[in-house]
Amino acid sequence: MKTPMAKAGDVQQGWILVDASQETLGRAAVKIATILQGKHRPTWTPHTDTGDFVVVVNAELVGVTGNKDEAKIYDWYTGWPSGRKTRTLAAMRKQRPEDIIRLAVRRMLPKTRLGRQMLKKLKIYAGTDHPHGAQNPVPTAFNTRHTARRDG
C-alpha cells in the first residue's frame, strides 16, 4: 500500500481569520503555527507547504498571563560592538504590536526555507481592518483566553 504524498500544485490553501483580542499569546501561536504548517490536515506532508493563510487582527490586544508585560524581554543584536538592544513586551505592544505574534509563531516554525515560506502566509494587523476581505477568510476562535473565576 502506498502512502499518499501531497504535491505543491494539489494543495488547496484556504484563509483563516483570528481575532487576537480573544486569545492568549503562546496558546494562539501554537495553533497558528500548526495551521501554517498544514498539520491540521490529513494530507500533511513534511516536505510540502500544505498549510493555510492566517490573518490575525487586533494584535495589540493579545493576552498574556502573569506579569509578562513587564518581565518578558525581547532582545536582538545590531551587529555593532555593544549593539545588544532590549525591549519589554509592554514597549513592543506600543511600538510594533504585530511583531509580538510574528516572533512567537516564527520560533515555532521549522528553521528552513520551507519555514520561511510558511511565515510569509501569516498576515498580522494591529487593528480590526485588513485588506484580505476578497479572500473570504473564515473566522476562527481558539478560545484560549482564561478568565478569572468568581465563586459565590
pLDDT one-digit tens code per residue, 52-77: 999 999 999 999 999 999 999 999 99
As a whole number of angstroms, the distance between CA 62 and CA 123 comes to 15
Q: Are 142 and 18 in contact (CB under 8 A)?
A: yes
Report the pLDDT value the prediction gives residue 147, as an integer from 0 to 100: 53
3-class DSSP assignment, residue 9: helix
pLDDT one-digit tens code per residue, 97-111: 999 999 999 999 999
Q: Are 60 and 125 in contact (CB under 8 A)?
A: no
pTM of the model: 0.89
Task: Place 148 in a pLDDT band, splitting at 50, 70 and 90.
Answer: very low
